Amino acid sequence: MADQSHGRPVTPRSRRAEPSSSGSRARRADPAGEGDKATKPLWRRIVKWALITGVILFVLAIAGLYFAYRSVAIPSANAEFLTQTTKVYYSDGKHKIGDFQTQNRTSIDFEDMPETIKSAVIAAEDRSFYSNQGLDFKGIARALRNNATSETTSGGSTITQQYVKVLYLTQERTMARKVKEAFLSIKVHNQMSKEEILEGYLNTIYFGNGAYGVEAASQTYFGHKAAKLTAPQAALLSSVINNPSAFDPYDEDDRDRLMSRYTYVLGGMEKTGAITSDEFASYSAELPKVKKKAESNRFGGTKGFLLRLTEQQLKQEGLSDAQITGGGLKVVTTFDYKAQKAAVETVKEMKPDGLKQLNVALSSVDPATGALRAMYGGSNYLKSQLNWAMLGSQPGSSFKPFAVAAALSDGYSLKTQLNGSSPLRLENGAEIENQGDSGGKSFGPVSLEAATKDSVNTAFVDLTYDVMDDGGQKTIDAARKAGISDTAAKRYDPSVAVVSLGYAPVPNVEMAAAYATFANNGKQNDWYVIERVTDRSGEDVVRHQVAPKRAFSAAVSADVTKALQEVVGEGSGTNGRTMCPTAGKTGTATFQKTEKGKEVGDAHVSSSWFVGYTPKLATAVMYVRGKNGNEALNGYMPTFYGGQYPAKTFASFMDKVLDGDECGEFPEPANIKSTKGKTYVPQPTATPETEKPRPERPTRPPRPNRPPRPTEPEPTLPTEPTMPTEPTMPTMPTMPTEPPEETGGPGGGGGPGGGGFGD
């Protein structure tokens, strides 16, 4: 064969043999692996790729869960579940007035929680609590099965999940919230001990009837601290948690459902050994008794006024709303438990029956400190939020002691002569008349002491309008020094002649505090309500410090007291006498509405007062009528003068709270000598002329030797029928004398252009 390589050697690798047809089929079928691949079943390839995909997805899922777990941070707790109830107490720190709360909650430590409630709540809500990891997958599966196979619904939430949901999340029913709840539950489980979780849960979970947390629940249903919970009581509380609206111990319709749940909880406690089988049999026989359901309105009745004033005073002390309603504070007020009870009882006893429009206010202040010991501002705060002890009205003649103090401080004395004539004509032609308990009498020249005792209007107008320079302003200044606020003092115009007659409104509590200055020998204390505030740890947040200021000299104060003692002793305020040395002043104000400088309608009695004090307590009593406190008392009350209902109310209250063995004594009068004005010299009292005896002949002796005639008994003349005693004329006219001049001033009487004065 010819060489076809053109001189190149022929090798086996380069030589191509002519394959036969059979050899060609063999070479196509036999190459390594090609035959196996072509013959592998489809399902094997699907399984293979499914496994590969599953592994990849599993890895991605694990990675996703890991990153999701890391990315979900424990959020800030819901604000309301961090709050605790602030409790308000009387001055003894024991008797409770009420509370402020976002939720009714008082947190306690785990050590203070009895084992009964711990075992009961675990038996009721999460029997795998100590073994699960924050989630109970078996419980979740069981809940899903039960929900699918029955009409009832059940949950598989652990205690940790419930705690997380309440403390950190909302109550919305979404998948996103459930997923977040699961992650947070695991995270909380990993970061907190079981004891911490259970403590938080028992302090936050809702037990129905407004009670959040086990301490509030124990107080609500059983009236004692959680530490004293018995096993049956703990089981009952734990039963309520599942559905407070369906397992209400106070709802008779819920009793069968509650009994079934209660038995279930006791059964769980028996299984864990928390109670014995005998105890189970005994406890499951009946539900434990709960105390009577308390009224839900914390501000109802007279206490509502105390709580609202306390809240206002806490804000003035700088506490925020969050601190007040959710800070878990203990607030001790100045209100004396006994005195406050006496105030309420006294008003109920003394207030005339059937007069629904009549408003009564009473404020009682400790002169040594300024502490408000009792306050009656109304019968029910929920029906009317107007606190008449804070609102006040025209004090009438009970404002006169400030004019007395001003005069004594300005060089005058109780012996200074004043013009008590009635009517008293002023330079501008206006006339002032005596009214009230004085009966409108014209006294003529009278001393300041006597003018105070008999509440002589004209004498006080003479004092502040003619005798003292700038008498109106000095009277207002004296009122400020005594304790009347700038707000009230600014209602008085010093140029108005009747400043000393109390023509503009003054809060009832301020009148009590101002008179307390006289009782405290001229040293003034601001009235206050908050004695001290402590936080949950017992640390002081607020503690009041008494800081008296010298308002009047001791001599001035002693002589004011002397004059006011005579008011009570023998003047217009005798109904205000108490078991202790007492000084005080009546006040009855009239109101004349004016528009554009003209009087509109008739004047009427607008308020009736008595303000007084003993060495240890000062009290102001006020009667007014209507929503604005300025309606007519005359024709409405049986008698409307300050020396009547107000004085009697004062005396009744004071005798309830004073200790006759510890009255104390007023200082001796200073008898200040005047350096100004004219001293009153009493006119010699004219001795009534006695009827001169008629000249009669001396009685002759019987004639001698003449026997006297036999004495015959004279017939007894029939006694004339006793004439009916004429009714005593009332010393108080039914209608007040209409004031001849407008006495309006800034804010007078609370009405447009108001004014007035009284006894």
**Is there a domain that residue 162 lies in?**
yes
Residue 371, strand partner residues: 528
pLDDT attached to residue 20:
47
Do 661 and 543 belong together in one domain?
Answer: yes
CATH code for the domain in which residue 192 is found: 1.10.3810.10
Domain enclosing residue 204, as ranges: 114-283
Query: Is the predicted pLDDT of residue 284 greater than 90, yes or no?
Result: yes
- State pLDDT tens for residues 334-393: 999 999 999 999 999 999 999 999 999 999 999 999 999 999 999 999 999 999 999 989
Residues 273 and 398 in one domain: no
Confidence band (pLDDT; 50, 70, 90) for 141? low
Q: In b/e form, how buried is each residue of 50-79, taking b as 16+ CB within 10 angstroms?
A: eeeeeeeeeeeeeeeeeeeeeeeeeeeeee
Which of 249, 283, 317 corresponds to the end of one domain? 283
The reply to whether 60 falls in a domain is no
Residue 226 predicted with pLDDT over 60? yes
Integer Cα distance of 730 and 348 in angstroms: 26
Domain assignment present for 354: no
- At a CB cut-off of 8 Å and minimum separation 6, what does 378 contact? 302, 305, 359, 384, 386, 387, 388
Instruction: Indicate whether 538 and 408 sit together in one domain.
Output: yes
The answer to whether position 678 is within a domain reads no
Instruction: State how many domains the chain has.
Output: 2
Average pLDDT over residues 491-499: 94
| 349 in any annotated domain | no
Looking at the fold, whether 279 and 393 belong to one and the same domain comes out as: no
| 33/49 Cα distance (integer angstroms) | 20
Confidence at residue 462, expressed as pLDDT on a 0 to 100 scale: 95
Q: Are residues 276 and 393 in the same domain?
A: no
pLDDT of residue 730: 33
pLDDT value at position 478?
98
pLDDT band at 540 (very low <50, low <70, confident <90, very high): very high
- List CB contacts of 692: < 8 A, sequence separation 6 or more: none
Domain end: 646, 672, 698, which one? 672
Domain at 527, CATH number: 3.40.710.10
Verify that 271 and 408 share a domain, yes or no. no
Of the residues 610, 643, 672, the one at which a domain ends:
672
Contact, 563 vs 731, CB < 8 A?
no
Phi, psi (degrees; rounded to nearest 5) at 280? -60, -45
707 lies in some domain: no
Task: Give the per-residue pLDDT at 84.
Answer: 87
Confidence of residue 706 (pLDDT cuts 50, 70, 90): very low
CA atoms within 13 A on the CB side of 555: 13
CA separation for the pair 234, 299 (Å, rounded): 30
CB atoms under 10 Å from CB of 282, counted, come to 14
List pLDDT tens digits, range 715-726: 333 333 333 333
pLDDT digits (tens, 9 = 90+) for 359-374: 999 999 999 999 999 9
Q: Report yes or no on 275 lying in a domain.
A: yes
Of the given ranges (77-81, 82-86, 474-478, 618-622), which has the lowest mean pLDDT? 77-81
- In this predicted structure, which of 103-112, 433-442, 538-547 has the lowest mean pLDDT? 433-442
User: Does 222 map to a domain?
Assistant: yes
Question: What is the pLDDT averaged over residues 433-444?
Answer: 77
Helix or strand or coil: residue 287?
Answer: coil
Residues 150-154 have a mean pLDDT of: 44
